[in-house]
Every structure is written in structure tokens, then in C-alpha cells.
Amino acid sequence: MKKHLIAALMSTAMLTPMFATSTANAADYVIDTQGAHAFIQFKVSHLGYSFVMGRFNDFSGDFSFDSKDVGKGNIKVNINTTSVDSNHAERDKHLRSADFLNTDKFPQASFKSTSVEDKGEGKFVVNGDFTFNGVTKPIVIDAVMIGEGDDPWGGYRAGFTGTTSFKMKDYGIKMDLGPASANVELELVVEGIKKS
């Protein structure tokens, strides 16, 4: 009888991992940059005729998330701005200069959330402070949950996309390429691995 009871309990536990996770408090995740399952990409109009697109190859961060109580979530990200990559070596050299990213003086950018607003249907707004080129200002990220669940290696993952934009002059960027090129659009893809 005892053996049957133990077997039944084990079967129930194996069949309900999603339920167990969804009723827990906010879980902590580390952003999966090692497996290259996260991206920070940018897009800037080039004089109103085309776009310069690129990414930051080196960043790290973590977040907390509970799908049952999204407002408890938070996220922190650190970006190595020297890792800027627009697929053009000379342009990247210029982007690192004092005209743009000023990486000799400010090699790091960061984002730290201050609140998360649940908009329903897997959509939410992340408010936070963005530090870039030595300037800290609030920004808003529109985020969408892609999904969460077990991975094939015994871990648990959660993934999101996010978009935001900011004016270069708000962060002390000197180069002025005209009104069409005044804003930077950021697209974020974040996949986190649940910490044990």
C-alpha cells in the first residue's frame, strides 16, 4: 500500500510541474547570454534614407518573474558598450568615439527597473532607469511574454521581447545627423534560466 501511495505521489508531481511553478512566488532568472539566447539590438535612421542596425554583443543581467503577479517582477541589465557591433569595423570605431557612445569614458550602460505594470494577455510595461553615456533617465519598455517552461537539460526558462526608444540628445550624444536620426530604437530579446 505504501509503495502504491509513493508511486501515485511521484506520478502527480511529474505531471504537474507547470502548476507547481505558477503558484510559487516570483522566481529568479539569469539572462542566458552564454547560450546566445538573448539580444540587445538597435536601429537608427541614417539621414532619413536608410537605417543603421546593430547590437551589443556583451551584456549580462537577471530578472524576477511571476506570471500570477507580474507587478512583483524586476530586471537588471549591464551592457558593455565597447561591444557595439554594426557589422562595419570603421563605423563601430566611430560609434565608440566621443561623438556617440564615448566608451573610453563610459564603457558601461545599465538598466534597472522601478516598476512593472501588467497589461493583460502576456503584455506588460517595464518602467526603469537607463544609464547611458554617463546620464541616467527613466525609460519605458513595452514587453511581451513569449513563454515559459522546462528545457531539455533539466532547467526552467522564461522568455520575453521588449521595445523602447530614446532621443540621443537626452543622453548627451554630441553627433547631430538631423531630426530623422535623432532617436534610437532598441529591441530586446530576453531568455532567462531559472536559478536553482
Domain 26-194 adopts which CATH fold? Lipocalin (2.40.128)
Please report which helix (H) or strand (E) contains residue 72, including its range.
Answer: none
From the number of C-beta atoms within 10 Å of its C-beta (0-12, 13-18, 19+), residue 141 rates as buried
pLDDT for res 14: 37
pLDDT (average), residues 78-93: 97
Please say whether the beta carbons of 43 and 75 come within 8 A. no
pLDDT at 23: 37
- Residue 115: closest CA among 78, 76, 144, 73: 73
Task: Kindly report, residue by residue over 17-41, the tens digit of the pLDDT.
Answer: 333 333 346 899 999 998 899 999 9
> Residue 99 phi/psi, 5° resolution?
-65, -30
Q: What is the pLDDT of residues 47-61, one digit of tens each?
A: 889 999 999 999 999
Considering the chain, what is the average pLDDT of its residues?
A: 88
Regarding predicted confidence, which is higher, 134 or 180? 134
Which are the contacts of 21, defined by CB distance < 8 A and separation ≥ 6?
27, 148, 156
Residues 67 and 159 sit within 8 Å (Cβ to Cβ): no
Q: What is the pTM of this model?
A: 0.83
Q: Which of 131, 181, 137, 190 is nearest to 163 (CA)?
A: 190
Taking the domains of the chain in order of start, what are their residue ranges?
Answer: 26-194
Q: What is the pLDDT of residue 176?
A: 83
φ/ψ of residue 149, rounded to 5:
160, -175
pLDDT band with cut points at 50, 70 and 90 for residue 15: very low
- The CA distance from 40 to 54, in Å, is 9
What is the Cα gyration radius of the chain? 20
Of 62, 71, 64, 66, which is closest to residue 21 (Cα–Cα)?
66
